[in-house]
Structure 1
Amino acid sequence: MNLFIDIETIPAQRPDVMEEIKANIKPPATFKKPESIAEWMRTEGPGAVEEAYRKTGLDGAYGQICVVGLAVNDFDPVAICELDWEDPGAERRILETLGCQLTDLIAPNGTFTTCVIGHNVSAFDLRFLLQRSIVNGIRPHATLARAAQAKPWEGDKVFDTMVQWTGSASVRISLDKLCKALSIPTPKDGITGAMVWDAVRDGRIDEVAAYCLKDVTATREAYKRMTFQMAQAA
């Protein structure tokens, strides 16, 4: 069985993390004069804090999952999310729902015959899911744990479309570029990953969920092209 998965994440929602970021923002070392330092902190400091804060959305230690998209084989993808993302328990409920759905979808012995498929799934999605499961004290489903521990080239456990295309976990290709190369409709025609936090903060979690599902669908089509299960688009 093939399990296609994608996650969307947001920056840390803990006030102490923001305070730590603010405390550690400093001007470049070339700024020596107190008045120059003060001016930099006034004009450039807020932007530096915001930039550092947004980066926590890519860090499983502090960032949080806001949407999980998944699809089994050729079935329609589904999104797991919480409308009230500001609720401290929202991420925990997402992870619990994900575990329940996977338990329903995958038989106990099916863990060993299920391949988890995604774009940059080895280095990001699976690792982030595992880290946030640990933070929330939730044991991840055995299929996800098995795939997270697999090497990116162990194709019976995990198929990372980025790694399989580039041939290296250290070389990147965006899903957008891969889709364009394979004549697959790009999922990046509205919201992009860089816009997820703004959309969530504005209360447009439904748009983020829809974007996540498009990523799942595009990844599935890319996988089929890369494994010669789908003909080239005319």
Structure 2
Amino acid sequence: MNIYLDIETIPSQDPSVKQKIADNITAPGQYKKAESIKEWLDANRESAAEEEWRKTSFDGGMGQICCISAAINDSEVKTFYSKDWANGEAGLIADFFSFLNESYEPSRMIPPVFVGHNVSDFDLRFVFQRAVVLGIKPPKFVPFNVRSWDKSIFDTMSEWAGYGKRVSLSKLCDVLGLDEKGSEIGEEIDGSKVWDFVRDGKIDQVASYCAGDVNRVRNIHKKMTFQTE
């Protein structure tokens, strides 16, 4: 059984995190005098803090999951998200875990294979970290702490580019002649714009984008494993 997976993440919604980041912004090393340091901080602290805060969307200890999409084999993609995205993370993770438990019986002899793009180093790790932070117990069969070469994971990025190397999902779709645009969204979106869409009340578009990536990953996986229709 293949479980196709993709998540979308946003920066920390804890005001104290953002404040701590702002308080810890320092001027570049070439500024030595107290006056020049103050001038730099007055001019740049806010923008520098915003840039650092946005990076927490890559940190499972501080960032949040706003959307999870998954599909079992050739079934329809199931997407978990909340209109109340700032407070709905625990619920969507719990719902995702329930979906996994309902879809797979651990007594089966063959464990499921989790398939995604950078799924071993990002998606699964981020889900694990958020589950720990929020105290949500995951299914035992989810391979959170294994490398991409483990048979319980098929990571389309490392399978194509090699361990430790990168290739974007969009580029891989283009190389393989697969749809990479996600025309179902109606607006151009990529991972770097997820927070802007969520902030602007477009969580539905983010959910559609996330589901589209699961479909694209599934098509890539079939292509890479020489499956025919």
User: Is TM > 0.5 for Structure 1 vs Structure 2?
Assistant: yes
> Aligned residue for 2:10?
10
How far apart are 1:159 and its partner, in Å? Answer: 0.3
The partner residue of 1:180 within 147, 163, 174 is 174
Q: Which has the higher helix share?
A: 1
Task: Tell me the equivalent position of 1:163.
Answer: 158
2:227 aligned with 1:229, yes or no?
yes
**1:140-155 aligned within 5 A:** 140-144=138-142, 147-155=143-151
Q: CA deviation at 1:32?
A: 1.6
Per-residue CA distance 1:181-203 (angstroms, 9 max, x = gap): 10111146621000000111111
- The Cα offsets for residues 170-224 of structure 1, whole Å up to 9 and x where unpaired, read as 1111101111110111146621000000111111100000000111000000001
CA contact (8 A) 2:6 2:119 kept: yes
Check conservation: 2:106, 2:141, Cα contact below 8 A.
Answer: no
1:17-72, CA deviations, whole angstroms, 9 ceiling, x for partnerless residues?
Answer: 11110111111011122232222112222111011000000000000000000001
Normalised by the length of structure 1, the TM-score is: 0.92
Deviation at residue 111 of structure 1 after TM alignment = 8.2
* Residue segments in structure 2 that go unaligned for 5+ positions in a row: none
Greater displacement, 199-208 / 179-188? 179-188
In 1, Cα distance between equivalents of 2:108 and 2:128 = 20
Residue 76 of structure 2 corresponds to which residue in structure 1? 76
Provide the TM-score with structure 2 as the length reference.
0.94
Structure 2 match to 1:207: 205
The answer on 1:31 being equivalent to 2:28 is: no
Return 107-116 or 24-33, whichever deviates more: 107-116
Deviates more, 1:110-119 or 1:6-15: 110-119
Match for 1:149: what amino acid? N
* 2:154 partner amino acid: F
Unmatched runs of 5 consecutive residues or more in structure 1: none
Identity in percent = 42
SS class of match (2:19): helix
State the Cα distance separating 1:143 from its structure 2 match: 2.8
Q: 2:81, 2:92 within 8 Å by CA — same for their partners in 1?
A: yes
Structure 1 runs, 4 residues or longer, greater than 6 Å off: none
Aligned to 2:65: 65
Match runs of 1:76-95 below 5 Å = 76-87=76-87, 90-95=88-93
Matched pairs, number: 225
| RMSD of aligned Cα (Å) | 1.5
| Cα distance change of structure 1 residues 110 and 24 upon mapping to structure 2, 3 Å threshold | farther
Q: Distance in 1 between matches of 2:114 and 2:36?
A: 52
